Amino acid sequence: MAQAARVARALWPGKCALADRLGGRSWPPLLTQSRAVFAGTTSSRQGRSRLLGAVTLAVGGALGLYHTVRWHLRAQDLRAQRPAAQLSLSSRLQLTLYQYKTCPFCSKVRAFLDSHALPYEVVEVNPVRRAEIKFSSYRKVPILVAQEEGSSQQLNDSSVIISALKTHLVSGQPLEKVITYYPPMKALNDQGKEVTEFCNKYWLMLDEQEAQRMYGGKEARTEEMKWRQWADDWLVHLVSPNVYRTPTEALASFDYIVREGKFGAVEGAVAKYVGAAAMYLISKRLKNRHHLQDDVREDLYEAANKWVAAVGKDRPFMGGQKPNLADLAVYGVLRVMEGLEAFDDMMRHTRIQPWYLRVEKAITEASSAP
């Protein structure tokens, strides 16, 4: 049962990419949006954790600032050296996405790639053996491997993948250089476990002209960052408690996971029945951990309506006439519930359906364009 539960937490929110989720303090743009909570069971452990945390955050912030200043100093030279051929950067990238299909963080990345018509290959990772990513010391998904003109770059963490690729596409800076703007750092989570977080993960490294062309103003840029982080900090944590809310829903969720994932015959049978029972119980702890209401559907409904209210009535998307990175993040998280009771209930009891269908249509049109 414990192994099946680990599989489930890998395929659904909260465990498929620990680097995506650390609770706690937010840091400002251009330094880091990292969040880490340092805790321990004894006062000495707390002291060590806090000291390590302070040192880690200081080093991480310094790295982020260093790379940011370095970027600003080089931005003008990079623009001057940029060849005209870089206007078609997307056609020069060969992308391979290592994923679990039912993982919301992986779904976010697919939504971004499809909406930007970036061709990519998918490698479905076995959640038990994970042999497909044995090449990587970073053992979470999504992982994106990008090949360009003979060089190969590995990008980790869904938000870093999206921010780095978007920066690359808009600015034309070499992807190898862009990745250095998102340095990883080690931190302790609230269980005292060392995890990896990334500086600047919601920030696009653009010069003033590029940012103005893309956003039109600072308010739009700040709004996009805020809601991208909201999708990771809050929305994603509502998925598991809702799809495992009852034994029947848990079994239906695991039927979907096994059908869409990469399992052997025995692994699939164990995951479907033992995992469903385990995750039904675990979902109750998740509800308490995130202080959800007794009926977790109410939290899901509130989140959906809050998002719709933020988009407003005067624009089809938060990005205006086309989805921005926040639209794609929220859509990507919610999409993993399609076909399940929680998704159907959300569509019936909230105002999110028109926006959701507009994003779906926009992504379909973009990905199918010649």
Q: Is 16 a catalytic residue?
A: no
Task: Give the burial class of 206: count Cβ atoms within 10 A of its Cβ; 0-12 exposed, 13-18 middle, 19 or more buried.
Answer: buried
Dist. CA 79–CA 262, nearest whole Å: 44
- Candidates 38, 98, 100, 182; catalytic one: 100
- Candidates 38, 98, 105, 331; catalytic one: 105
Q: Is 103 a catalytic residue?
A: yes
Q: Are 276 and 230 in contact (CB under 8 A)?
A: no
Return the DSSP state at 117.
T
Number of helices and strands in the chain (H, E): 15, 6
Q: Pick from 141, 142, 97: which is nearest to 118 by CA?
A: 97
Q: Pick from 153, 196, 157: which is nearest to 178 by CA?
A: 153
- Candidates 98, 106, 244, 254; catalytic one: 106
Q: Angle at the Cα of 334 (from 332 to 336), degrees rounded to 5?
A: 80
Q: Are 189 and 17 in contact (CB under 8 A)?
A: no
Dist. CA 16–CA 106, nearest whole Å: 9
Count the neighbouring beta carbons within 10 Å of the beta carbon of residue 357.
Answer: 11
Q: Are 95 and 120 in contact (CB under 8 A)?
A: yes
Dist. CA 250–CA 257, nearest whole Å: 10
Q: Pick from 324, 108, 98, 109: which is nearest to 215 by CA?
A: 324
Distances (CA, A) of 173 to 251, 301, 317: 47, 41, 28
Q: Are 50 and 202 in contact (CB under 8 A)?
A: no
Q: Pick from 327, 362, 330: which is nearest to 117 by CA?
A: 362
Q: Residues with catalytic annotation?
A: 100, 103, 105-106
